[in-house]
Structure 1
Amino acid sequence: MELLSHAKKHGVRSLLLQGLTFISVLTSAFMIWKGLSLFTNSESPVVVVLSGSMEPAYYRGDILFLHNGYSPIEVGEVVVYKVDEKPIPIVHRVMKVHTESETGKQFLLTKGDNNSADDRGLYNPGQLWIQRDEIIGRVKGFVPYAGMGTIWMNEYPQLKMGLLGALCVLSLFSND
């Protein structure tokens, strides 16, 4: 009922303009994300650390900036990779690198700094190495704890719904 009174008071044209403004903000954010993806050669140029497996290098909630260059990956680099069976990318350090002499193809063994064993248990069944094409990116920088909001919204879905609802209401009823 309040929406109808607002529409009568401000006019349908005003509501449509606010809706278009909201859509343009979403479209701009998507274009920025895709532009960053092209620039960094990574499907996900920014990720949030979700576990403590990389402590003390990176803590839960840190935002990592990735780049996926074409140069060979070296032992000691922190990479983000994704295996077929797992929906969430994994952030771990490269412990060993095997390069085929004929093709130059790289195979990597990874491990979390805070884990006692390597990642072979996380790979697909029967897989002993991560292939270079499974790497999403290499960590090039980070912002400590800036991603805690993302973690809280995933752990408490009602917080996410409340925030999205509040943003929608604000976008509909703002005068700007």
Structure 2
Amino acid sequence: MINLDHKTPDLFVMEEKYLKKPFNKKRLKSREPSPKRKIIIAIVLIIFAFSGSFLIYFILQVALDTKTPMVVVVSGSMEPKIYKGDLLFLKGKDPAKIKNGTIDGKEGDIIVFDARGLPGWTHAPSEPIVHRVISKKYDNGWFFFTKGDANPTHDEDWVPESRILGVVGGRIPYIGWVKILLTDSGLLIPLLVIVSALLIISIIWDIVKKDENSEKSKTKRSDQLVYGKKIEQDEDVEEIEFDFTKQDKSKF
């Protein structure tokens, strides 16, 4: 039992400097990703960016119903209809529905095909050929005879339907020159590697420098910041009085 006759001070004065809880720097730091984690995230984002281009290409393959939805024109054999450096969009088409033409009429469909290794093609280029259909026949499958609009003569031999990549559906002028110049100079692959490396280095450098600057800034202000506000050393002291004589003794 508590002795109620025990005398308690009539007035108890407490003096204490009440400050807000200091900013927990360690707690904030633990929530921020480490530099290594930031670098890994940056590399993953770059990989996703490159993967996105392949995803777009795949979507075009499905939408246009062809394995080769885009091709760059590397010769002037179809001028003035199609020029060297044009980027062509191809679409799949039933071989039976590919429009036939004549050698002079130029009303046949323009097809893109791969002639490498075909019988009768002694000078087949390594790049896909973009020529107009001037004749076709069926012999256990469709075969097409072609000619470039700007060429004086027709092509060497027939093209089987299995070698057709697609029918030209649209074009963007000049944009293919980038690919032509880089491929002809042999700089396409090295340039892609260099650009990718520089991009990764740039991102890593920015992350490291930003982290260093942030750490220096926090170190300078750590002794003066309390929830982001400066505390003056001569801050007033609050006095709080507790009058225990007015307390209900039954609580004891």
Using the size of structure 1 for normalisation, the TM-score is: 0.80
**Deviation, structure 1 residue 160:** 5.2
Q: CA deviation at 1:87?
A: 3.4
CA contact (8 A) 2:134 2:146 kept: yes
Give unmatched runs, 5+ long, in structure 1: 1-9, 121-127
Instruction: Output one character per residue of 1:68-91: Cα deviation in whole Å (capped at 9) or x when no partner.
Output: 122511121100001243532111
Matched, 1:138 2:167: yes
Please tell me whether the aligned partners of residues 179 and 188 of structure 2 are also in contact (alpha carbons under 8 angstroms).
Answer: no
| Max Rg structure | 2
RMSD: 2.0
| Separation in structure 2 between the aligned mates of residue 78 and residue 34 of structure 1, nearest angstrom | 23
Query: 2:130 matched to which residue of 1?
Result: 91
Question: Does structure 1 residue 167 correspond to structure 2 residue 196?
Answer: yes
State which of 60, 64, 69 in structure 2 corresponds to 1:36. 60
CA 1:28 to 1:162, structure 2 compared with 1: closer, same or farther past 3 Å?
closer
Runs of 4+ in 1 over 2 A off after TM superposition: 83-87, 157-164
One-letter code aligned to 2:71 = V
Other structure's SS at 1:118 match: coil
Q: What is the aligned partner in structure 1 of residue 46 from structure 2?
A: 22
Contact 1:81 1:137 in 2 (8 A): yes
Q: What is the deviation of 1:159? A: 6.2
**2:149 equivalent in structure 1:** 113
Q: Distance in 1 between matches of 2:75 and 2:83?
A: 7
Residues 89 and 159 of structure 1: CA distance in aligned 2, closer, same or farther (over 3 Å): closer
Gaps of 5+ in 2: 1-33, 101-107, 118-124, 208-252
In the superposition, the TM-score normalised over structure 2's length comes to 0.57
Q: Which moved more, 1:18-27 or 1:69-78?
A: 69-78
Q: Specify the alignment match of 2:13 in structure 1.
A: none
Q: Does the 8 A contact of 1:19 with 1:172 survive in 2?
A: no
Aligned length: 157
Distance across 1 between alignment mates of 2:170 and 2:194: 33
Q: Is the 8 A contact 1:79 1:92 kept in 2?
A: yes
The structure with higher relative contact order (CA 8 Å, sep 6+) is: 2
By how many angstroms is 1:163 displaced? Answer: 5.0
What is the percentage of aligned positions where both structures have the same residue? 31
